[in-house]
Amino acid sequence: MDLRDRLSTRLKEAMRDKDQKRVGTLRLINAAIKDQDIALRTEGRTVGDAEAAAIMAKMVKQRQESARAYEEGGRLELAEEEMAEIGIIEEFLPRKLSDTEVDAAVDDAISRTGATSVRDMGRVMGELKTKYPGRIDFGAVGPMVKARLA
């Protein structure tokens, strides 16, 4: 079952269960994917699962920033709402790699690209982004790759 089908099924279940928070979040996900579909219509294609996962990862990041801002502002109830939305969105994202899996993936990408210096960092990161979209925190992996190539 592809991602859109899973989203549609879960949305129907949430509507049947009258879970308004879940319904709202799932509708936001669908709307973001449909917006990207409209943008890609000129190219004659639609959003695939990998692109949809990237859209949802971006939504998670936005909500994390909002929750952090709400906590700093003393609005804990709003921060909790954002965290609840993150939980719902993350149900549809691929499983994140563990630290040992990330280490192995970085080593594998370095060996496959034949990287030997920091100049090759872009190729290594490109390889990781292609093979593990949405499964690795690339902000944390960048310094790790740089350290290994230095």
Q: What is the pLDDT of residues 50-109, one digit of tens each?
A: 788 888 988 998 999 999 999 999 999 999 999 999 999 989 888 888 888 888 888 888
For 39, the domain range is: 3-90
Could you tell me if 56 and 88 are in contact, meaning their C-beta atoms sit under 8 angstroms apart?
A: no
Q: What is d(CA 15, CA 112) in angstroms, rounded to the nearest whole number?
A: 47
Structural domain total, the chain: 2
Token pair of 16 as six digits: 């049947």
Q: Are residues 85 and 47 in the same domain?
A: yes
Q: Are residues 40 and 76 in the same domain?
A: yes
Judge whether residue 1 has pLDDT over 70: no
Q: Are residues 79 and 28 in the same domain?
A: yes
Q: What is the mean pLDDT of the chain?
A: 89
- Rounded to two decimals, the pTM is 0.73
Token pair of 4 as six digits: 């859109």
**81/132: higher pLDDT:** 81
Q: What is the pLDDT of residues 134-146, one digit of tens each?
A: 788 788 888 888 8
